[in-house]
Amino acid sequence: MEINNPSLYQVPLPEDPTVLGLEFTPFLEQFSKQLNAPYVYKKAIAYRQSTDRANWAPYLPKEEDPQSRSTFSKFWTEKKDRKKV
Could you read off the pLDDT of 59-74 as tens digits, one per residue? 998 888 999 999 999 9
Give Cα separations from 41 to 2, 11, 26, 60, 63 (angstroms): 18, 15, 11, 22, 23
Report the pLDDT value the prediction gives residue 34, as an integer from 0 to 100.
76
Largest Cα span, the chain = 40
The set of residues, in sequence order, having a beta carbon less than 8 Å from that of 37 and lying 6+ positions away, is 1, 3, 31, 83
Q: What is the pLDDT of residues 1-40, one digit of tens each?
A: 455 666 667 888 888 888 888 888 998 888 877 777 788 8
Cβ-Cβ contacts under 8 Å for 31 (sequence gap 6 or more): 3, 37, 40
pTM for this model (two decimals): 0.69
pLDDT, position 32: 75
